Structure 1
């Protein structure tokens, strides 16, 4: 969740759910925990009270600034030796899986 907010900026709960494929019930728990730690905050939409925007805090950004470069290196190592065409196939398959998951299967 922090990675989505770190790279994409403010997101609605639904947008985050779609990106990380987490059920909305679990999402509330995760948001509560990260908010308690001061890593993100909820912002209620003034136009529509049903919509809640989530933003990463400065503390969350600092953690991600520290963690993400290491995470990126691990991901790059995992995909080392896989050519560009294979990477595109993986991306395509994962997008289809994500779309299926977000549609409620």
Structure 2
């Protein structure tokens, strides 16, 4: 059996460090997300559901489903599914807009508000523990660097 020719151009230092950074960043992200998702799942939620509850909890008024989807970074079809699930759990309620029948608002129920207040401190602590691999000083160094990396990548995708 003939082997495929797998010759590639030599990797220079910029390419090598970029590839290494990608691997390290990916593995760190997966490890942190795994810890945080386990915490979220312990409340009977998925990360998107928690994101919706968090957004509504910190909003001063009911929010249109479209805006919730934009803030939580999910599609219009998915926001309907997530809201359905949260509504079945009696954590949020829908209501129609008085001025435009096409617009549907969502707001936390009393049960949803109490539920979120009951889990938020524990969830916040899970995030703190997931980030405990860095000192406070290291966090202050890495945050602006990751922002810079993210903004530069976002500029290339536009």
| Shorter-chain TM-score above 0.5 | yes
Structure 2 residue ranges without an equivalent (≥5):
1-51
- 1:87 is aligned to 143
User: 1:78 Cα shift?
Assistant: 2.6
- 1:3 is aligned to 54
| 1:90 to 1:49, Cα distance in 2 relative to 1, 3 A | farther
- 1:24 is aligned to 76
User: 1:91 Cα shift?
Assistant: 4.7
Is the counterpart of residue 78 in structure 1 residue 130 in structure 2? yes
Q: Which SS does the other structure have where 1:84 is aligned?
A: helix
RMSD over aligned Cα atoms:
2.3
User: 1:85 Cα shift?
Assistant: 3.7
| 1:52 to 1:69, Cα distance in 2 relative to 1, 3 A | same
Q: TM-score, normalised by structure 1?
A: 0.77
Q: Which SS does the other structure have where 1:8 is aligned?
A: coil
Tell which structure's C-alpha radius of gyration is larger.
2
What are the superposed Cα offsets for residues 15-68 of structure 1, whole Å, 9 maximum, x if unpaired?
111111111111111111111221101121111111111101110011111111
| 1:88 to 1:12, Cα distance in 2 relative to 1, 3 A | farther
Decide which of 98, 121, 125 is 1:46's aligned counterpart.
98
Pairs aligned (count): 98
What are the superposed Cα offsets for residues 54-100 of structure 1, whole Å, 9 maximum, x if unpaired?
10111001111111111111212233324224223435628x76xx7
Structure 1 residue ranges without an equivalent (≥5):
none
Q: TM-score, normalised by structure 2?
A: 0.54
